[in-house]
Every structure is written in C-alpha cells, then in structure tokens.
Amino acid sequence: MSGGKASETGGASPERGRGSGAPDRNGGVSIKSVAERAGVSIATVSRVINAPELVAPETSRRVQQAIDEVGYRPNLFAKGLLTRRSRVIGVSLPDIHGQFYSDLMRSADERACELGYHLLVSSNAHRPDVGPESSFALDLADGLIVMLTESSRADLDAIARLSLPTVVIGADKPGLGLETITIDNASGVREAVEHLLAGTPAHRCCFVGGHRGNIDSDERCAAFVETLRAHGHTVSSEQVALGEYGFDWGWEWATASLNAERLRGSAVLTANDEIAIGVASAARDAGLLIPRDLRLVGFDDSALCRFMRPPLSSVRVPIDEIGQEAVNALVRRLENAKSTPRRACLQTSLVVRESSAVGKVR
C-alpha cells in the first residue's frame, strides 16, 4: 500500500555495495555496522538517512541512535543520488578575506546547519574575468547564493538565466525575477552625516570611499552628496575621495590631507571601517587627537570598531541578518519552486562611539 511507513525489509539502497562491511571513509564503520547495531536491514538504514519520513518513528530513532553509537557518517553524494538533493548550498563571493566576509559566512553557516544544509564556498577574487555564475561547480549544489559588489547588469542577466534556484546579495534590478537581499545604504549615510553636521560645518565634512563602480561605495557616496545638498551645500571635489577598501587607502588619503592642511577640524565618513582606521592611524601619527581635532565615522560596525582607541563610531550593517536571510530565502525557493521571488532591503543604523563625539572639535 502506498503512503504508509516502509517495512524493515526489501527495497534498494544506493549504499548496498558497502554491505560487506569493508573499511571505508568512516574508519572501518559501514552502513552494515549500523544495521547490525539497530537490528534492521541495510535498506532501512538507507531510508532513515535519505527519506526518514518513510520510516516508523521508533525504527528511525533506533537507527539514529545506532548511527551515533558506531560513529557512522553518511556519504552526502550517495544520498543525493537517491533524493536528487545534495543539501549543499553553493556560495559565490567576490572575496573570502576580511572581517565582513568572515562574519557573513559564520551567520550563513549557522543557519544552514540549523536547516540541515552544508555550504560550499567559492571566491572569484583571483578570477576577475570569470562571472560568479561560471566560477562554481553548479552540479554539486541544490541552489546558489551569489554576492555581487560591482555594478554589472551582465552578471545579473547571467544569474537570472541559471536553472538553479539562486539568491543574490548586494545587487538588485527590477524585472529579472531574482530573489535579492540588499541594504539601505542611504538611510545609514543620512543618519551619519546629520550626526557629523551637529558639530562640524558642511564644508568640513568629507567622504572617503572605495573604488568607483563598487555598488556600496557608490550608493554611500551619492547619499553623502545628497544629504549635504539638502542642507544647502554643494560638495566640492576635495570633500570626496574614492580609492580602495582597506587600511592603506585610508592612511594615504589622510596623509595627503594632512600635507594639504585639510584634515584638522574635519569630520570624515568612510565607506568601511578599515578605511576609517587607516585615517585614524595617520591622524595619530601626525599628533591629531580624535575626536578633538578630527571626528570619524566608519561603515559596517565590525568588531574592529570596539578595539580602536578611541572606539570608532560606525554605520551598522546587519551582517548576521544578511547571511541568515540569504539561506532562508534560498531554502524557501528550494522547498517551493513556485514561490514568488522577494526583494528584501535590510536597514542600516548609526552606532555612535567616542570617535565622533560632538563638542570636542576645535
């Protein structure tokens, strides 16, 4: 009779070839060892691993206990042959180095584990001419999470053509039918600039960003210019500088500004925390005190902020939420292919610390 619980005998198993109990990657523990410990057939053990909903609860409990006792670890790829699901989520990142990506992957991995999935991570940092959709072994994964940092309609078009369920982090273009997760850069920048304007005139406020074409840096720069314009100030070329995400660029910009006698008495918003820390390092080397001589706000609110002296004000990006929501969105698509793609925009917020304290600027 169909629809009932499976009996403990009969049926095919993708792992029957291990029935001899020969040593395998489990250090000599085979599926046969589990079956003997639980007092069931090899086929039943396979069902518990691959399709537990087909096995009576008490039998499933007994098999799971035997698996734990003998230390058996099922082969995910053999399991995938039966279920046509690897329970592997591919993650394509522009880079894997730095606090941001570390925090992002930690939160995504935690959520994937809770939902019974594994992450397989790839970076195209050293393959600049290869699109994210081409840099991944797509046949290994059930679905794909792609993070985009550059403004490229071509990448989005290519991702939209994939047959694999996909979630995009960082970029969004209406009309492509993609599940996307972005952050509201503009609101965080506005909050930061309003905070800086409370103690520094508009013409002494500066933005130091990443390279042109980077989605986040471009959006943050545009919001900086627009917020000052709303206060009646037209931003000069000296108030905006674009370079690279990193300590070195922040240090270089601050050193050049010091040489031009533009840094003292300024308020600076940077596109990430590393740039801000580079600025702070150059300022301290020159004898400036933060926040008395220079007010400073970073972006991301990474762990680095709390260890800087003085602690760094920063616009908080909900990195944990991004990682968790990306996994949630992809699993939702995997479990319901007909679900309508969602476009989530997560909020940013200013975290004020000592580096931008008001009333201490000369």
Read off φ and ψ for residue 41, nearest 5 degrees.
-80, 160
Percent above pLDDT 70 for the chain: 83
Torsion of CA 70, 73, 75, 76, to 10 degrees: 140
| Tokens found for residue 144 | 């794909």
8 Å CB contact between 48 and 63? yes
| Mean pLDDT computed over 341-354 | 96
**Nearest-angstrom CA–CA distance, 113 and 296:** 38
User: Could you give the C-alpha distances from 315 to 189, 273, 333, 359, in angstroms and in order?
Assistant: 7, 9, 31, 20
8 Å CB contact between 165 and 142? yes
8 Å CB contact between 278 and 251? yes
Q: For 167-201, what is each residue's pLDDT tens digit? A: 999 998 877 788 999 999 999 999 999 999 999 99
> For 104-158, what is the HEC assignment?
HHHHHHHHHHHCCCEEEEEECCCCCCCCCCCCCCHHHCCEEEEECCECCHHHHHH
Task: Render 26-70 in DSSP notation, one character per residue.
Answer: TTS--HHHHHHHHTS-HHHHHHHHH-GGGB-HHHHHHHHHHHHHH
pLDDT at 300 over 70: yes
pLDDT at 349 over 80: yes
Least confident of 7-11, 40-44, 85-89, 313-317: 7-11
Quick check: helix, strand or coil at residue 236? coil
Q: Closest Cα partner for 98 from 218, 301, 246? A: 246
The pTM (predicted TM-score) of the whole model is 0.76
pLDDT of residue 46: 81
Mean pLDDT, rounded, of the chain: 85
Q: Closest Cα partner for 306 from 273, 282, 270, 349? A: 273
| Tokens found for residue 25 | 């990657």
| Tokens found for residue 206 | 């500066």
pLDDT of residue 62: 93
**Nearest-angstrom CA–CA distance, 187 and 190:** 5
pLDDT at 225 over 90: yes
Q: For 43-67, what is each residue's pLDDT tens digit? A: 898 888 777 778 899 999 999 999 9
Distance of CA 34 to the CA centre of its chain: 38
| Mean pLDDT computed over 275-287 | 97
Percent above pLDDT 90 for the chain: 59
pLDDT of residue 159: 85
Q: For each of the domains in the chain, give its residue range(s) and CATH number, in order of start.
A: 16-83 (1.10.260.40), 88-183+319-347 (3.40.50.2300), 185-317+350-356 (3.40.50.2300)
| Mean pLDDT computed over 312-332 | 96
Query: How are strands ordered across the β-sheet holding 118-123?
Result: 118-123, 88-93, 143-147, 166-169, 179-183, 343-346
pLDDT at 119 over 90: yes
pLDDT of residue 172: 86
| Mean pLDDT computed over 17-37 | 63
Q: For 231-245, what is each residue's pLDDT tens digit? A: 999 999 999 999 999
pLDDT at 220 over 60: yes
pLDDT of residue 323: 96
Q: Residue 209: beta bridge partners?
A: 242
pLDDT of residue 76: 59
Q: Which residue has the higher pLDDT, 273 or 134?
A: 273
Single-letter residue type at 23: P
| Mean pLDDT computed over 133-161 | 79
pLDDT of residue 17: 38
Quick check: helix, strand or coil at residue 8? coil
DSSP 8-state symbol, 287: T
pLDDT confidence band for 84 (50 / 70 / 90)? low
pLDDT of residue 137: 60
Q: Closest Cα partner for 93 from 141, 115, 118, 126? A: 126
| Mean pLDDT computed over 330-338 | 89
